[in-house]
Amino acid sequence: MTESTGERETKRAATERAMLDAAERLFSERGFETVSVRAIAQAAGVSHALVHRHLGSKEEIYRAVMRRSEDLIRDAAGATEDLGEAISLMLREGLINRKPYLRLAAHSALHGLPYDTSIVSFPAVQRLIELAEARASRAGPAEGVVEPRFAIAAIVALNLGWASMEAWLVEAAGLEDLDEESLVAGLERVMLYLAAALVPGDDG
């Protein structure tokens, strides 16, 4: 019995998902430079040639991993026009479901991987900037207000830093008594406070 087109497409999608999952895990653990396509293939349980055929070069795999996770984080905010709600939803998607991606982004930046090797345009960050600029424009000009792009850059840096250093920070700050939800909720409150302080507006 031969496979239908739909079954082949489902199987192909599952195979690509397994390869991207393996690549994301390896890149986040070891960094871009030390991971080979062969290692990705082995971790995914497929052949080296299959990875190349489906996903291309190591650079293309890296960009596919980043694009997939960044899109999922952006999409977590749905159609909300509220900056605070978008930050909360994206934060939770990132820290609960996409932590390896956040660690990968932080590791890449800290270890000198050129920015143009990445996906270059980060949809989740761009969406937050749009919402911050809209909120600031509704509030009108104000003395000493931080430029919205800079405010979002600082909030994103806090998110990436927490994701990549959480175990160390929890011990350093004596937060071992808090469960994962309490840690995420605490970070969420800090980010929302920063957003309201840095990007004041009629809804903040």
What are the extents of the domains in the chain? 1-56, 65-198
126: nearest Cα among 44, 70, 196, 45 = 70
Residue in the structure block whose two tokens are 């900037």: 129
Percent with pLDDT over 70 in the chain? 96
CATH architecture of 1-56: Orthogonal Bundle (1.10)
Question: What is the structure's pLDDT at 204?
Answer: 42
Alpha-carbon gap, residue 128 to 151, rounded angstroms: 10
Q: For residue 135, give both structure tokens.
A: 């909120």
**Local structure of residue 40 (DSSP, 8 states):** H
Please say whether the beta carbons of 89 and 80 come within 8 A. yes
- Examine the pLDDT at 175 and tell me if it is beyond 90: yes
- Structure-model confidence comparison of residues 66 and 93, the more confident one: 93
The confidence score (pLDDT) of residue 83 equals 96
Share of the chain above pLDDT 90, in %: 52
